[in-house]
Amino acid sequence: MANTQFIGEHLWPGQLGHFFVIVSLVAALFSTFGYLRAVKTEGLADEKTWRIFGRIGFGIHTGAIIAIFIALFYIITNHLFEYHYAWEHSSYDMPSEYLLSCFWEGQQGSFMLWTFWHAVLGLIVMKTAKQLETRTMAIIGIVQVILTTMILGIYLGPDIKIGTTPFMLLRHAMQNAPIFAMPNYLEFVKDGNGLNILLQNYWMVIHPPILFLGFALTLIPFAYCIAALWKGDYQSFIKPTLAWSLACGAILGTGIMMGGAWAYESLNFGGYWAWDPVENASLVPWLTLVAGLHTLLIYRSTKRAFILTSVLLLLTHLLVWYSTFLTRTGILGKTSVHAFTGDGAALTYHLVAVIAFLLLISIVAMGWKWKSLPRIKTEEETLSREFWMFIGAVVLFLASVQISVTTSIPVWSPLAKWITGKEFAPPTDVMSHYNNIQVWVAIIIGMLSAMVLFMKYKHTEGKSLAAKLGGTAAVAGVMTGFIAWGQDITAWQYVIMLFSACYGIVATIYYGVAIQKSKFKKLGPSVGHLGFATVLLGILLSSYNKHAISLNTTGVPFNFKKNTDQETIKENMENVIMFRGIPVAMGNYYATYIGDSDVNGKDKRIYYRVVFERKDSVTKKTLERFVLYPDAFINPKGEQGLSANPSTKHYWDRDIFTYINSATDKSKTDTSTYRSHIVSKPGDSIYLANGFMIFNGFSNEINDKRYVAKDGDLAVKAKLTVHNMQGVKQEINPIYILRDKQYIMQVDDTVLAMGLYARFGALNVHSKDSASIDIQVRQTNPMDDFIVLKALVFPYINVLWIGIVVMVLGFFISLGDVVSSKIGMLKKTTV
């Protein structure tokens, strides 16, 4: 096979891409070595030379990463299916806007995206790190070497594999298949496997780059902390670490909630957060980052909490690698609906080695300087900002521990079983398990995020504090009572959570307006905390009274299996079967399934039209009418089943969220046939299952793009008006064609909403003045055309989305304040 000349292969883009992988690895090694030598020669004449070598190496590394991107993108966009990555993730019929998504759908592409962001951020650090550049860039270089090995794809001996190349040929990936021994095997590769249908969505284009930028940003505080420990400089790292942590908090938080918005708008999870292990794996680093950000503020103002700050910021980046281990090795198994399936034991061992190596660096860095680390032996005052910020950071850390331990059950359960002999399984009711614990985290953090704003570092005067807290608490109590009464929130723990959210909103607004006098540059903390409190309120309002309006009162049994019998019963009661054209009561609405679309071009989804009407109970006058279009892939890629995407009606105070759980496979169930109806004069009627049709005569004026006229044609159309039971009319014109005086051709016309197909069957001339025609009608049996729909109401969900935007804005305002103050100090130093 090695000597076989394969026909039609384009080898040069893969060879070029793999060459640049090698270049990027060597350049990263060279850069790291240069920076390490610069550290070694610090203060000597050679330091500048080695620093320049480090910069040049990193620049070459960045250029090589960009070249790898270009090579792989060329392969994907040109559908070079001789490459396994292009075959596995793309296809000819894929809409062009999703081709970029193919890049990061797979393991190697997402590692490349991560590496690219590190390279971009590294260039910025190189220009801004000043005296910490050599040490910080050495750490970034080490991580870049590690990431580049993930796409290296080389073997050290028969059993040791380092990374997986995205430029592997299809015949190498499937070398045991006989077809790949044939020189012309590409003639039999007609198309690629294509992008996962759940990922064919605009969110897939924008969400992963933002999320991976957030993951990449965790490296910079990590590198600065190691650099500070390494150099023994515990002051100059504060401002850059604070700025990068704020940027990371904003971007990673945005990426996480973009994932929630994606799940809500485009996936049938029935909400925006499901405590899925992949969601948890991205949330936990954000929680530790926010905790570390606040302890860093403590250290900046009081010189306390340096050790905890370092632990949290180092742990944040390690947790990103751990989340990579969880989501890419396949160890989560069936506990996650959207983890990677895994890339064998090689990737598992590779990631474990990486985590162990970075953990070792962190431990050595802290242990080496342990005795000299900044400490203050006296205790903090209870009435001080740093004390309660420290408590909040510990609570966030404990929350991340709880989420991590539960998410990691598939990791540690085999060892626990070996030790104890007991089975440990993930919770069956995942939502309740997490919610019952994390609600108290939300309560504590919601309260603390408002209270600490009124406190001062080191000491706060008690009477003044009590007056401010008491006044805002009274207003929040009234607000809580009003909302709890209006939304019927009665569970005591959620009433407390409601008070916590209301208190956060009231207190942060008061603090920003009355105390900070609305000075924009200083509003970052109050705006960020206001956003967090609003997020808590939005989560509570949208989740507590979330309810289904698609209640199964028909008696039709379903078989939607869930984790518990109780959940299965609930799910089956919240889905309703809808036969075409038959209204079904849903809350204040009557919903009618009126038909679906045909698969059109590259879009393989079927869109189902569901009309919602709300009528006056007395006059029956229609007060509101809208159409939703939930869609689904039926039997995607030849598999049995359905993959659905929701459709939502947005109001200012609620959303009506619908998705398909089952639908007719019309290729198997359409049993209707054409029936003849003879009409002879205008006004003749044909009665239908759900309306009637009136014959309005003939016409030879045909303007129909489906009919292409030829010389000698005798063509005539029937003019028909279709009336449905609601009084809606539609004109249709089936065409009868006599070609060359012997061939009869017909062009049907349809009313899809009624499942109606009409054909001009025959023209019968009885005399010079009389004729009749045969109108053949086929109407799909409504019982052969149905959907099973779930419709949920999310009250006040817009409060959640507004809260997220406000919270992220708070991060950026704070970032702007830190950056501007740093620039101001540089200008003073220059002067």
Q: Are residues 492 and 601 in the same domain?
A: no
Q: Are 483 and 796 in contact (CB under 8 A)?
A: no
442 within a domain of the structure (yes/no): yes
Tokens of 461: 């005067």
550 within a domain of the structure (yes/no): no
3-class DSSP string for 271-296? CCCCCCHHHHHHHHHHHHHHHHHHHH
Tokens of 218: 């965790």
CA 22, 26, 31 angle in degrees (round to 5)?
145
65 within a domain of the structure (yes/no): yes
Residue 91 to residue 602: CA distance in whole angstroms:
10
Residue with tokens 């919602």: 612
Residue 212 to residue 731: CA distance in whole angstroms:
53
Q: Are residues 645 and 707 in the same domain?
A: no
Residue 73: closest CA among 85, 91, 55, 82 = 85
CB atoms within 10 A of CB 530: 27
505 within a domain of the structure (yes/no): yes
> Residue 341 pLDDT more than 60?
no
Residue 814 to residue 209: CA distance in whole angstroms:
23
pLDDT of residue 639: 53
Helix H or strand E segment including 658: strand 654-663
359 within a domain of the structure (yes/no): no
β-bridge mates for residue 736, sequence order: 716, 746
Query: Average of pLDDT values for 758-786?
Result: 78
Q: Are residues 614 and 678 in the same domain?
A: no
pLDDT of residue 518: 79
Cα dihedral across residues 548, 554, 560, 566: positive or negative: positive
> Residue 768 pLDDT more than 90?
no
Residue 764 to residue 771: CA distance in whole angstroms:
6
β-bridge mates for residue 779, sequence order: 756
Q: For residue range 134-168, list pLDDT tens digits in order.
A: 999 999 999 999 999 999 988 877 677 888 999 99
Q: Are residues 732 and 652 in the same domain?
A: no
Among 145, 167, 195, residue at a domain's last position: 195
CB atoms within 10 A of CB 537: 25
Residue 500: closest CA among 467, 466, 524, 473 = 473
pLDDT of residue 179: 87
Q: 435-449, 533-547, 619-633, 659-673: which range is least confident on average?
A: 659-673
Q: What are phi and psi of 67, to 5 degrees?
A: -65, -40
pLDDT of residue 831: 43
> Residue 601 pLDDT more than 60?
no
Residue 668: closest CA among 777, 785, 788, 779 = 785
Top pLDDT among 191 and 783 is at 191
Name every residue whose Cβ is closer than 8 Å to that of residue 495 and which is 6 or more positions away in sequence.
480, 484, 489
Residue 640 pLDDT class (50, 70, 90 cuts): low
CB atoms within 10 A of CB 786: 18
Q: For residue range 272-308, list pLDDT tens digits in order.
A: 888 888 889 999 999 999 999 999 999 999 999 999 9
CB atoms within 10 A of CB 152: 16
Residue 600 pLDDT class (50, 70, 90 cuts): low
Q: 351-355, 522-526, 573-577, 615-619: which range is least confident on average?
A: 615-619
Residue 266 to residue 333: CA distance in whole angstroms:
23
State which of 71-75, 423-427, 779-783 shows the largest mean pLDDT.
Answer: 71-75
Q: For residue range 234-243, list pLDDT tens digits in order.
A: 999 999 999 9
Q: Are residues 20 and 136 in the same domain?
A: yes
Residue 451 to residue 192: CA distance in whole angstroms:
57
Structure-derived torsion over alpha carbons of residues 531, 532, 535, 540, reported in degrees to the nearest 10: -140
Tokens of 379: 């205790």
Q: Are 72 and 166 in contact (CB under 8 A)?
A: yes
Q: What proportions of the chain, in percent to the nearest 5, are helix, strand and coil?
A: 55, 15, 25
Residue 338 to residue 268: CA distance in whole angstroms:
13
Q: Mean pLDDT for the chain? A: 88
Residue 335 pLDDT class (50, 70, 90 cuts): low
Name every residue whose Cβ is closer than 8 Å to that of residue 131 and which is 6 or more positions away in sequence.
231, 233, 236
Q: For residue range 692-705, list pLDDT tens digits in order.
A: 899 998 888 888 87
13 within a domain of the structure (yes/no): yes
Domains identified in the chain, total number = 4
Residue 471 pLDDT class (50, 70, 90 cuts): very high
> Residue 228 pLDDT more than 90?
yes
223 within a domain of the structure (yes/no): no
Q: Are residues 149 and 43 in the same domain?
A: yes
Q: For residue range 422-456, list pLDDT tens digits in order.
A: 888 888 888 889 999 999 999 999 999 999 999 99
Q: Are residues 38 and 157 in the same domain?
A: yes
Query: Average of pLDDT values for 59-73?
Result: 96
CB atoms within 10 A of CB 123: 15
Residue 780 to residue 786: CA distance in whole angstroms:
11
Q: 19-28, 124-133, 335-344, 519-528: which range is least confident on average?
A: 335-344
Q: Are residues 641 and 706 in the same domain?
A: no
Q: Are residues 453 and 594 in the same domain?
A: no
Tokens of 435: 């919610």
714-728 as b/e, with b when 16 or more CB fall inside 10 Å? ebbbbebebbbeeee
pLDDT of residue 830: 46
Helix H or strand E segment including 142: helix 133-149
C-alpha distance from residue 125 to each of 118, 234, 731 (Å): 10, 18, 68
CB atoms within 10 A of CB 75: 24
3-class DSSP string for 73-140? HHHHHCCCCCEHHHHHHCCCCCCHHHHHHHHHHCHHHHHHHHHHHHHHHHHHHHHHCHHHHHHHHHHH
β-bridge mates for residue 644, sequence order: 632
> Residue 668 pLDDT more than 70?
no
Q: Are 180 and 210 in contact (CB under 8 A)?
A: no
Q: Are residues 620 and 747 in the same domain?
A: no
Residue 613 to residue 610: CA distance in whole angstroms:
10
Structure-derived torsion over alpha carbons of residues 755, 758, 759, 760, reported in degrees to the nearest 10: 180
Name every residue whose Cβ is closer than 8 Å to that of residue 301 and which is 6 or more positions away in sequence.
385, 386, 457
Residue 547 to residue 534: CA distance in whole angstroms:
21
Query: Average of pLDDT values for 412-418?
Result: 86
pLDDT of residue 2: 53
Q: Are 90 and 76 in contact (CB under 8 A)?
A: yes
Q: Are residues 592 and 459 in the same domain?
A: no
Q: Are 392 and 402 in contact (CB under 8 A)?
A: no
Amino acid code (one letter) for 480: T
Q: For residue range 672-720, list pLDDT tens digits in order.
A: 688 888 888 888 888 887 788 999 988 888 888 778 888 878 888 889 9
CA 741, 744, 746 angle in degrees (round to 5)?
140
394 within a domain of the structure (yes/no): no
Query: Average of pLDDT values for 572-601?
Result: 85
Q: Are residues 646 and 677 in the same domain?
A: no
Q: Are 190 and 94 in contact (CB under 8 A)?
A: no
Residue 209: closest CA among 314, 304, 114, 136 = 114
Q: 49-53, 295-299, 339-343: which range is least confident on average?
A: 339-343
Percent of the chain with pLDDT over 90: 55
Range of the domain at 168: 1-195
pLDDT of residue 6: 85
